[in-house]
Amino acid sequence: MCRICGGVVNEFLDLGRQPLSDAFVEPDETADEFYYHLRVGVCESCSMVQQLAEVPRERMFHDSYPYVSSGSVRMREHFTRTAHDLLECESTGSDPFIVEIGSNDGTMLAAVRAAGVRHLGVEPCGGVADVARAAGVRVRSAFFEEAVGAEIAAQDGPANVVFAANTICHIPYLDSIFRGIDALLAPDGVFVFEDPYLGDVIEKNSFDQIYDEHFYVFSARSVQAMARRFGFELVDVRRLPVHGGEVRYTLARAGARTPSAAVAALVASEDARGLAELSTLHAFAAEVDRISRDLVGQLEKLRDSGLRVAGYGATAKSATVTNYAGIGPDLVPCVFDTTPAKQGRLMPGSHIPVRPAEEFAEYGADRLLLFAWNHAEEIIAKEKDFARGGGRWLLYVPEVRLL
């Protein structure tokens, strides 16, 4: 049953037994790993793409959650620009108030704070919340939900903007989220969120965007239907080049704003290409299988030819690829990553060791599997000596190929 509207959900993709994508394990803790069955379907009524099973939120989001928003230069720039956009376009009145759901290490809100604007982050993961606090960002440690929205409104007054990046698609219980936003948002306020876009996932075969935390994969059509159901309206959309292709959705209270032409245009383009039709999604599932087999074939060839292989970027996304395709340390002996909380641990399920990015040069790789393909431009530029020395990057999005 659809988690948004109660409609019939048809399964189109089975990604098998999967671990928690951000649960990097200590080498002696592999016996205790949590696994679940990752299956994905689409709602016949509202076209929302969603998982069939929910992982309890406390298992995924806790004080040792390792992901930091500031881990990429490009993402830091993106969030600073986002803050300035929100401050310029949406912060009306003499004393505006901006709330961010899932504020992580405060990368976006730090720019709001620097502008002297009232703000609050709501973040359940203690470690990253403390990083934000150390930067002077105001954070409430909580999972945002109906009661939290009402409490913030009572304490701080209505918000002009509620923003969320890579967070709303993580939350199955969006009915409670919308009720909380309804309680918190000023009458003319906006709810702005950005998440991976189904259009990009299908176009790029980026099936690794689907993992425990990404419960939904949104489209303009499904977000429009969801907004209506909860008394809001989708009034603007903007495609974003970050994280492999996202859309920023702007929602206002129903009737408060005239939707921009971009909304109708994006919905029409989705309908024209049959984005949420089962035939499209089944074809995508067949591509997932083909690409996974291709990737394993390539890695086996590299291993058999004696080349030195490693992974680059211990992403959450890579849990889906490695566990679905069956890629372990025999094919990718280690992965390099800049995140201290992941280093020295093993990637979930695949148990590929994560090594500090600084050790990359001395390792002397011939081929690098780019798990963090969404940061390709930044990473390939940073590691240009690798290609200069004859090394080659192996990508699997949108196809398996060597650069």
Q: Does 165 interact with ligand TYD (rule: CB under 6 A)? A: no
Pairing of strands 97-101, 159-165: parallel
Structure tokens at 267: 């919905």
Among positions 104, 160, 292, 339, the unique one binding ligand TYD when judged by CB under 6 A: 339
Q: Does 170 interact with ligand TYD (rule: CB under 6 A)? A: no
Q: Does 221 interact with ligand TYD (rule: CB under 6 A)? A: no
Footprint of ligand TYD on 254-293 (CB under 6 A): none
Q: Show Cβ contacts of residue 55 under 8 Å, excluding neighbours closer than 6 positions.
A: 20, 34, 36, 212
CA torsion, ordered 372, 351, 66, 122, to nearest 10 deg: 90
Footprint of ligand TYD on 31-50 (CB under 6 A): none
Output the smallest distance, CB 313 to ligand TYD, in A: 3
Among positions 317, 345, 355, 367, the unique one binding ligand TYD when judged by CB under 6 A: 317
What number of chain residues touch ligand TYD (CB under 6 A)?
A: 19
Closer CB to ligand TYD, 236 or 337, in the complex: 337
My answer on whether omega of the bond before 398 falls inside 30° of 0, hence cis, is yes
CA dist 200 → 9, 44, 56, 197 (Å): 21, 21, 27, 5
Output the smallest distance, CB 48 to ligand TYD, in A: 21
Q: Show Cβ contacts of residue 356 under 8 Å, excluding neighbours closer than 6 positions.
A: 336, 337, 338, 340, 343
Binding region for ligand TYD (CB under 6 A) out of 286-294, 298-306, 333-341, 395-403: 333-341
Q: Does 320 interact with ligand TYD (rule: CB under 6 A)? A: no
Q: Distance of alpha carbon 265 from its chain centroid, rounded? A: 24
How many C-alpha atoms does 172 have within 13 Å on its Cβ side? Answer: 16
Site map (CB under 6 A) of ligand TYD, residues 294-313, x = contact: -------------------x
Q: What angle do CA 187, 192, 198 make, to 5 degrees?
A: 140
Output the smallest distance, CB 40 to ligand TYD, in A: 17
Q: Does 232 interact with ligand TYD (rule: CB under 6 A)? A: no
Q: Show Cβ contacts of residue 213 under 8 Å, excluding neighbours closer than 6 positions.
A: 21, 22, 60, 170, 316
Footprint of ligand TYD on 61-120 (CB under 6 A): 67, 71-72
Output the smallest distance, CB 91 to ligand TYD, in A: 27
CA dist 321 → 119, 326, 329, 337 (Å): 38, 8, 14, 17
How many angstroms separate the CA atoms of 246 and 218, rounded? 9
How many angstroms separate the CA atoms of 217 and 31, rounded? 31
Among positions 366, 378, 380, 392, the unique one binding ligand TYD when judged by CB under 6 A: 378
Instruction: Name residue 162's amino acid.
Output: V
Spatial contact of 190 and 238, defined as CB atoms under 8 Å apart:
no
Site map (CB under 6 A) of ligand TYD, residues 382-401, x = contact: x-------------------
Q: Does 233 interact with ligand TYD (rule: CB under 6 A)? A: no
Pairing of strands 139-140, 216-217: unpaired
Binding region for ligand TYD (CB under 6 A) out of 112-120, 174-182, 245-253, 374-382: 374-382
Binding region for ligand TYD (CB under 6 A) out of 39-47, 116-124, 127-135, 368-376: 368-376
Output the smallest distance, CB 316 to ligand TYD, in A: 4
Q: Does 204 interact with ligand TYD (rule: CB under 6 A)? A: no
Binding region for ligand TYD (CB under 6 A) out of 135-143, 191-199, 218-226, 331-339: 331-339
| Interface ranges with ligand TYD (CB under 6 A) | 67, 71-72, 313-317, 337-339, 342, 357, 372, 374-375, 378-379, 382
